[in-house]
Structure 1
Amino acid sequence: MATTQLTASSISTRNLSSFERLRTSSIQFPRNNARIAILTQWSLPSMVVKAATVVAPKHTTVKPLGDRVLVKIKDAEEKTQGGILLPSTAQSKPQGGEVVAIGDGKTVGKNKVDISVKAGAQVVYSKYAGTEVEFDGSKHLILKDEDIVGILETEEVKDLKPLNDRVLIKVAEAEEKTAGGLLLTEATKDKPSIGTVIAVGPGPVDDEGNRKPLSILPGNTVLYSKYAGNDFKGKDGSDYIALRASDVMAILS
């Protein structure tokens, strides 16, 4: 009886001609001696299937809405002031950047309240404020106008211009000795909550949309909440803190 052989070229339903290096083996049937070519598993080339990566569309502009501001985040410092290279785990999260775009402001009462900063301004913002976004190859932050602490155009913290109801205070130095004269270590020194006011913001907006000047003035010695605000280290080694006027508990004299 004639022997019938089916080869890979005769199987068209799966379009197997696109595979290369196909090897065949045959099975002998006793009745009709038909041999059917079988594609062995180890004869197929190695194939890897990967899920498609969804790529976000390229955006050319981001327009903040309302009282929101788009800020380009300043890169974290990679070295200390002494030139020591910091590992990524020791680099502090940046708290400053450049204003890229601003919203149209908000309406309070019958008055329109504009954004307190302009595009191009160098600002400092609250540490955990806003939403971080990747835009134009750089990290940006979208945050509310009230989350911006102040404008800082120099590298000197004492030059910070507070915004809204913020107050900049130079922190009093911690006591190094107890009342009995014992020397305190850094770990046992209490965090100071007393300082001298360096600068104040224009004040908060009331229910009618008008600015209400602060009762705290530069030069005042104040007592403030112990863990409020944002801490900064000045180039002269002094400690500064920027906080809301509501976190100031008393004026000392």
Structure 2
Amino acid sequence: MAAAQLTSVTCSVPAFEGLKSSTTSYKVSSVVVSSPFRRTLTLKSTRGLVVKSATTVAPKYTSLKPLGDRVLVKIKAAEEKSAGGILLPSTAQTKPQAGEVVAIGEGRTIGEKKVDIGVKTGTPVLYSKYSGTEVEFNGSNHLILKEDDIVGILETDDVKDLQPLNDRVLIKVEEAEETTAGGLLLTQASKEKPSIGTVIAVGPGPLNEEGVRTGVPLHPGNTVLYSKYAGNDFKGTDGSEYIALRASDVMAVLS
């Protein structure tokens, strides 16, 4: 019968001048297979393979100016502890969705009107989870993203104080049912994700073809039904669930 033995090796890729791939190391295991016929197949070790998700800007570049309607956001560090004080491993840390605007583009032109960026440098913001391009600049992690990918301005540590931008609305999610219609207690895994909530705040609305904000057809206090898999989920300091989504993802007002 053949036997296999795994040993650990690494591979590497060279760095680049200027903009270069930032790095995360991955181990590649070597395989040794032996058989009764004394034949052995071995994958030889090489130097470390290094792959990095962010783009690193070399120290010789001291300024980064976004173009058009893009903004540069310095990413807030991920939480390293749970609310109960338990130290979280890197794999369990929530990907940050908050940061501070450190540079802005010149805006964009709609029709014949020039529209400036709606946030200023120094503004603390929340942004969509999978938006933008990560950049390591001046030793810190940043994100270059479109202004429209910014969900809202948050000047406190509680998401209920979020000021939505553009056509987005902030909704406090209705709590999931704890029991079935027949009175059976539901486990956390079997609770249906709610798609009903109360509007907490609304943005100024999208821009029309003339560059004018048109507002949204919703108001704080409205109870609404929204698309189940839209938007960005957040948890408030009191444990309540919130969601920030586009007004077009709200399907109906309940009364």
Query: TM class by shorter-chain length?
Result: 0.7 to 0.9
Find the partner of 2:75 among 73, 76, 91: 73
For 1:82, the equivalent position in structure 2 comes to 84
1:93 to 89, 92, 95: 95
- How many residue pairs are counted as aligned between the two chains? 204
Amino acid in the other structure paired with 1:75: A
Runs of 5+ unmatched residues, structure 2: 1-11, 19-57
Q: Distance in 2 between matches of 1:116 and 1:216?
A: 21
Equivalent position to 1:160, from 159, 162, 165: 162
TM-score, normalisation: structure 1:
0.79
Identify the structure with the greater strand proportion: 2
Q: Residues 140-188 of structure 1: CA distance to partner in whole angstroms, max 9, x if unpaired?
A: 1000000000000100110000000010000000001111111111111
What is residue 63 of structure 2 aligned with on the other side? 61
Structure 2 match to 1:146: 148
* In 2: Cα distance, 1:117 partner to 1:126 partner: 16
Give the residue type in structure 2 aligned to 1:122. P
Secondary structure of the structure 2 residue equivalent to 1:146: helix
Match of 2:221 among 216, 219, 228: 219
For 1:249, the equivalent position in structure 2 comes to: 251
CA distance in 1, matches of 2:201, 2:14: 54
* d(CA) in 2 for partners of 1:70, 1:218: 30
Q: Deviation string for 1:95-149 (max 9, x for gaps)? A: 0100000011101112111111000000000000001111000011000000000
Partners of 1:251 and 1:64 lie apart in 2 by 39
Identity of aligned residues (%): 75
User: 164, 171, 181: which one pairs with 1:169?
Assistant: 171
Please show how residues 1-253 of structure 1 align to structure 2 within 5 Å. Answer: 53-56=15-18, 57=58, 58-253=60-255
SS in 1 for 2:201: strand
* Letter paired with 1:62: L
TM-score (normalizing by structure 2): 0.78
Shift of residue 55, structure 1, vs aligned partner: 3.7
C-alpha distance in 2 between matches for 1:53 and 1:182? 59
Alpha-carbon displacement from aligned partner over 1:183-204 (angstroms, at most 9, x marks no partner): 1111111000000000000000
Bigger Rg, structure 1 or 2: 1
- Alpha-carbon distance, 1:54 to partner: 3.4
**Which amino acid is the alignment partner of residue 162 of structure 1?**
P
CA RMSD of aligned residues (A): 1.4
Q: What SS is found at the alignment partner of 1:242?
A: strand
> What is the letter of the counterpart of residue 54 of structure 1?
F
Q: Distance in 2 between matches of 1:54 and 1:175?
A: 54
Structure 1 segments, 4+ long, off by >4 Å, are 50-53
Distance across 1 between alignment mates of 2:150 and 2:157: 17
Q: Secondary structure at the match of 2:189?
A: coil
CA distance in 2, matches of 1:154, 1:68: 24
1:194-252 CA-to-partner distances (Å, cap 9, x unmatched) read 00000000000011111001110000000000011000010101000000001000001
Give the deviation of 1:51 after TM superposition: 9.5
CA change 1:51–1:223 in 2 (3 A) is closer
